[in-house]
Amino acid sequence: MSEDETGMPLLRLRNVEKHFGAVQALAGVDFDVPIGKVTALVGDNGAGKSVLTKTIAGIFEASSGDIFWEGEKVHIRSPKDSAALGIEIVYQDLALCDNLDVVENMFLGRERVSKRFLDEDEMERAATSTLADLHVRTVRSVRQDVDSLSGGQRQSIAVAKAVMWNSKLVILDEPTAALGVAQTRQVLALVRRLADQGLAVVMISHNMNDVFAVSDRIAVLRLGQMVAEGPASKFDQSMIVDLMTSGRTERTVPEKKHEATGAEELEKAADDVNAHEDNTPKSEAVETYISTHSGTQSFGEYLKSAWSRIKAGQSGVLPVVLGLVLIGAIFQSQNANFLSAGNIVNLLVQGSVFMLIGMGQVFVLLLGEIDLSLGFVAGIGGVVVTELVQPGMAWPWWAAILAALVVTAFIGLVQGSLITRLKLPSFVVTLAGLLGFQGVMIVLLGTGGTIPIPNQTINNLANGTLSPLVGWTLMIVVLVVYAATTTLRHNQRKKSGLVTPPDGLVVVKIAAAALAGIVLVVICNIQRGNPAFPFSGMPWVIPIVFAVLVLWSTVLGRTRFGRYIYAIGGNAEAARRAGISLANIRTAAFVLAAMTAGVGGIIYASRLQSMSTSFDGGTIVLYVVATAVIGGTSLFGGRGHPLHAVLGGIVIASIVNGMALLGLSAAVQFMATAVVLVASITVDVVVRRRGGGAR
Question: How confident is the prediction for the chain on average, in pLDDT?
Answer: 87
DSSP H helices in 316-340: 318-334
Q: Radius of gyration of the chain from Cα atoms?
A: 30
Per-residue pLDDT, 261: 61
Q: Specify the pLDDT at position 78.
A: 86
> SS3 for 176?
coil
Cα end-to-end span (Å), the chain: 40
Q: Give the pLDDT score at 504.
A: 86
DSSP string spanning 465-485?
B--HHHHHHHHHHHHHHHHHH
- Tens of pLDDT, residues 154-196: 888 998 898 888 789 999 998 888 777 888 888 898 899 999 9
At 65 the three-state DSSP class reads: strand
For position 365, what pLDDT does the model report? 96
Domain 11-264 is in which class?
alpha beta
CA–CA separation, 627 and 463 (whole Å): 23
* Tens of pLDDT, residues 24-51: 999 999 999 999 999 999 999 889 998 9
The domain ranges of the chain are 11-264, 301-464+539-685
Which comes out higher in pLDDT, residue 393 or 672? 393
pLDDT tens-digit map of 273-327: 444 444 444 333 333 343 334 567 777 777 777 777 766 666 678 888 888 899 9
Q: Residue 550: pLDDT above 90?
A: yes
Inform me whether the pLDDT recorded for 6 exceeds 50. no
Report, as an integer, the average pLDDT of 4-28: 85
- For 614, other C-beta atoms within 10 Å of its C-beta total 8
Q: What is the DSSP string of 153-170?
A: HHHHHHHHHHHTTT-SEE
Res. 497 pLDDT band, cuts 50 70 90:
confident
Checking if the pLDDT of 1 tops 70, the result is no
Quickly state the pLDDT bin for 270 (edges 50, 70, 90). low
- CB contact at 8 A, 377 and 437: yes
Neighbours of 324 (CB within 10 A): 15
DSSP state of 101: B
CATH of span 301-464+539-685: 1.10.3470
Using one digit for the tens of pLDDT, what is the confidence trace for 79-102?
A: 888 989 999 988 888 889 999 999
Which residues on adjacent β-strands are paired with residue 172? 90, 203
Q: How far apart are CA 496 and CA 492, in angstroms?
A: 6
Residue 269: pLDDT over 70: no
Report pLDDT for 153.
Answer: 87
pLDDT in tens, 512-545: 999 999 999 999 999 877 666 767 899 999 999 9
Residue type, 290: I
pLDDT band at 263 (very low <50, low <70, confident <90, very high): low
Q: How confident is the model at residue 144 (pLDDT cuts 50, 70, 90)?
A: confident
DSSP 348-386: HHHHHHHHHHHHHHHHHHHTT---TTHHHHHHHHHHHHH
pLDDT tens across 457-484, in order? 999 999 999 999 999 999 999 999 999 9
pTM of the full structure: 0.87
Average pLDDT over residues 145-162: 88
Per DSSP, helices labelled H in 16-169 are 49-57, 79-85, 102-106, 120-133, 151-163
pLDDT at residue number 544 = 97
Q: Virtual CA dihedral for 29, 32, 38, 39, nearest 10 degrees?
A: -20
Residue 334 has pLDDT above 50, yes or no: yes
CA–CA dist 625, 678 (Å, integer): 12
pLDDT digits (tens, 9 = 90+) for 113-132: 998 999 999 999 999 988 88
Let me know if 8 is exposed, middle or buried by CB neighbors in 10 A (0-12, 13-18, 19+).
Answer: middle
* Number of separate helices (H) and strands (E) present in the chain: 26, 14
Q: What pLDDT, on a 0 to 100 scale, did the predictor assign at position 27? A: 94
Question: What integer pLDDT is reported at residue 319 of this predicted model?
Answer: 81
pLDDT tens, position by position, 617-638 = 998 998 999 899 988 898 889 9
Neighbours of 106 (CB within 10 A): 24
Q: What is the pLDDT of residue 691?
A: 54
Whether 194 contacts 275, CB under 8 Å: no
Span 356-377, average pLDDT? 96
The residues that bridge with 452 in the sheet, in sequence order, are 610
**Which one-letter amino acid corresponds to residue 218?**
I
